[in-house]
A and B are shown apart, each in its own frame.
Chain A
């Protein structure tokens, strides 16, 4: 008996929501970054689940792409966060508001 698709979708939705709330509510750049990863993986989960449901490989391929890109993005993102920390002594995103109008 296969696990119903709804389980996966709901889990994916919960994870995505947690990620989104983290992005919106957290001030620490590192935690925001982790929340973004959570969102990405929530989407990956949904992709793989739907891929299984349709018995097509497209979704899984896309999930792989997404993971690769996420890995690359982590490298760049962490580098930026380190650079910001070196320059400002903090990773609080509310402190970095030089573009305020």
Chain B
């Protein structure tokens, strides 16, 4: 009978975290459905059977019935105790990370996710994991509260700016699962999406080895990587299209007109200032929305980003 409500849930891809939740939801749905049907049928039956036949109808005086009151208090009480215990044990499981879990660091920001591996590899808006192995995500936010939600795994946890929180899961099949941000965080909250990409153990190790630790390569390559994993591209396009902030394309060495009617040519110092103190100069037609990257980007990082921006000509 539990399958009656299967259509409500996405396919479960991490039974270690989600099996108990699914079973509990099926139980609550079925019991609720039975009681709701009983109440509704009783209401409609009474309304028809005892419909008013004349304005002088006499009704019996029934004030209360203690046995009945006790019955319909105690039975629901037992039911909710079952539900409580079931939900509690499932939740304990969600909070108990297996010892051998593979750890990945997660950083959330407006509006994206960065995942960092023990090798130093970093990647934005995709988390690659091995199949059949518990994975623990240690999460923090760089600005406001976000929330990490993977419906396929039945896991969710708020990501806070002032402390670490964690979730774990164990994907049992190779493939992709959707990640949503579920704590409202502003303009592009609904675009703060990411994917879990599940590989076989071998593919995963190959993928990890391919990632350049610490974003190796030339400064331009490092800069390109940085603007993805730091979320710059969420608001600033590299192809000239208009987003929340001005595009990076054609920015270098161009005249910038500001809201306060002044203007300046975009050079190294202008870009540096815009990253570290974004509210100092607001380009005409845009809002003061960006938060400072002070402390999030090193001087070397900023230089790499500038080198990359230089290559984006119109």
The reply to whether chain A is a binding partner of chain B is: no
